[in-house]
Amino acid sequence: MTTLFDYIIVGAGSAGCVLANRLSANGKYSVLVLEAGGSDQKFWIQTPIGYGKTFFNPKVNWMYTTEKAPGLNNQANYWPRGKVVGGSSSINAMVYIRGQAEDYDHWKSLGNVGWGWDDVLPYFKKSETNSDGGNEYRGDSGPLYVNNVSSQYHPLTKTFIQAGQQLGFDYNADFNGKSQEGLGHYQITTKNGLRMSAARAYLHPALKRDNCQMVTDAQVNRILFRHNAAYGVEYKRRGEIHVASANREVIVCAGSINSPQLLQLSGIGPAKLLKDFDIPVVHAAEAVGRNLQDHLGYTHYYKSKVPTLNNQLYPWWGKLMAGMKYVLLRKGVLSLSVNQAGGFIRSNPDRLRPNLQMYFAAITYSMAPADERPLMQPDPYPGFLNSVGQLRPASRGYLEIDSTEPGIHPKIFPNYYSAEEDVVEMLEGVRVMRAFAETPALSNIIKHEITPGLNIDSDDELIDDIRQRSSTVFHPTSTCIMGSNARDSVVDSEGLVHGVRQLRIVDASIFPTVISGNTNAPVIMVAEKIADQILA
């Protein structure tokens, strides 16, 4: 195999797939993609609801665990991340959300020129084909298919939306249109009943070109530097060490955990940390691994008086019927996500914009073991769940290497609920969920609240339950943040790493702040935008 390329991309996740496609499209440049995981051509990856099967599968999942978080009653949190072609877009719940315009205007206000809402909207549109067609906000000719499958969603999703309207929340037919605020149905990245990962949208078409190659099962050990410029990478594959060189740039797209880990292993990071592990300092950068942000979710479970997805998927014959419908027609529950309805609301009228995200699912798996996510094995009674999460938490965490061995997971300190305002906001969210349950629409179908139970009702009791049962909704960002000041950021507004040359980072780790919602669509947008900057 050729060992000299114009661009080396570390990681075939969402950003890496976009860059591989865009940088190889004109035929001028050779591109090598190195992916630590294996092929995405697996049934449970391509099947939308299959993310329940990949949730704890080490063959396609890094399966990180955080350090114990004092704010979660000293509990650790499990963080699945994609270790497979397509990265986390191959194992996520496929919800397509861009965030709020104010998120990006805030990025710009922090000194990131060119990252305001008006700057990024064209790249969101460029990346997608919306099943409902294009308009001022939506694209109609991009590689990523975004599907409105609300006609297939469970009828209880409409009951949830009706309950919200009874509380005064507006219906929103498109969270990615003019405004994000309101309740409605989630659009997902599927096409013809199959998952539309970044690999399917971008990478596999690019690999048909002679100038784009990929090596899987390739664990990158370190970035190689000469005179403060990145000239290549060292990687391990099947026990053998290889070196690949880059004429132009090394582009790290390894995600919010692996990207800062790789930088630290390569000599870019906090000086004391590097010294503690006897790693030669290429560039002392205190922000590498810092500013970690993530979304937490908190769920209430209910027994239902009416049938839910539990009734369809718990009995063996229900599984058989769902399987046959999917195999024959590529339709039905297996072709969907269980995150079908929800929205973006203000926890109280004084909030200037939506600060909470809600998820409603006509399914429960409250009786499942802690080490399973059995979307195809729900509870044996009709039930549904309602979840709430903060959109812009104030708490900040960090991560750092625990070994010079690349295969050893870094230590992740999420510091959840270390900011008291996050606890206050989540408590407001819980009160909103309780109000939902008391509306005529939902109260008529609720048999009783299973968890936490109505006996848990005081602020102190609810806060303790929030700390006990909150968990990540899998949106870690900002561990290599973008900024104009090299002292407190890692990359500039084009993803170029401060203090060195020919090295770029493109993934969620460079988000200046976490956006208001699911993170996959913004990662793809960031990669589209920086690809244009590279080619320019």
> What is the tens place of the pLDDT at every residue in 277-332?
999 999 999 999 999 999 999 999 999 999 999 999 999 999 999 999 999 999 99
* pLDDT bracket for residue 2 (50, 70, 90): low
Mean pLDDT of 468-497: 97
Nearest of 337, 15, 341 to residue 175 by alpha carbon: 341
DSSP notation for 473-485: -S--B-TT-B-S-
- Active site positions, annotated: 475
Distance (Å, rounded) from C-alpha 390 to C-alpha 296?
Answer: 7
Find the helix or strand (DSSP H, E) in which 342 lies. strand 341-345
* pLDDT bracket for residue 372 (50, 70, 90): low
Q: What is the pLDDT of residue 96?
A: 98
User: Is residue 250 within 8 Å of residue 8, measured between CB atoms?
Assistant: yes
pLDDT at 368 over 70: no
Which tokens hold the place of 476?
A: 């870690």
Which tokens hold the place of 133?
A: 């067609």
Q: What is the pLDDT of residue 370?
A: 57
Q: What are the two backbone dihedrals, phi and then psi, of residue 182, each rounded to the nearest 5 degrees?
A: 125, -175
Q: What is the pLDDT of residue 403?
A: 98
Q: Render pLDDT for 412-454 as a digit per residue (tens, 0 to 9).
A: 999 999 999 999 999 999 999 999 999 999 999 999 999 999 9
Mean pLDDT of 459-467: 98
Q: Render pLDDT for 165-176 as a digit per residue (tens, 0 to 9).
A: 999 999 999 999
Distance (Å, rounded) from C-alpha 386 to C-alpha 160?
Answer: 9
Q: What is the pLDDT of residue 3?
A: 85
Distance (Å, rounded) from C-alpha 365 to C-alpha 257?
Answer: 29
Q: Render pLDDT for 374-394 as a digit per residue (tens, 0 to 9).
A: 677 899 999 999 999 999 999
Distance (Å, rounded) from C-alpha 344 to C-alpha 451?
Answer: 23
Nearest of 69, 95, 90, 70 to residue 80 by alpha carbon: 90
Q: Render pLDDT for 20-38 as a digit per residue (tens, 0 to 9).
A: 999 999 999 999 999 999 9
Residue 237: alpha-carbon gap to chain centroid: 27
* pLDDT bracket for residue 366 (50, 70, 90): confident
Mean pLDDT of 95-121: 98
Tell the burial category of 481 from Cβ atoms under 10 Å away from its Cβ (0-12, 13-18, 19+): buried
Distance (Å, rounded) from C-alpha 418 to C-alpha 410?
Answer: 21
pLDDT at 337 over 60: yes
Angle at 183 between CA 522 and CA 306, to 5 degrees: 120
Mean pLDDT of 187-205: 98
Q: Cα(first)–Cα(last) distance of the chain, in Å?
A: 29
Q: Which residue has the tokens 């058989």?
A: 320
CA distance readout (Å), 114 to 29, 173, 289, 337: 26, 29, 24, 34
Average pLDDT, the chain: 96
Which tokens hold the place of 17?
A: 């797939």
Distance (Å, rounded) from C-alpha 470 to C-alpha 72?
Answer: 7
Q: What is the pLDDT of residue 369?
A: 62
Nearest of 231, 272, 373, 361 to residue 309 by alpha carbon: 361
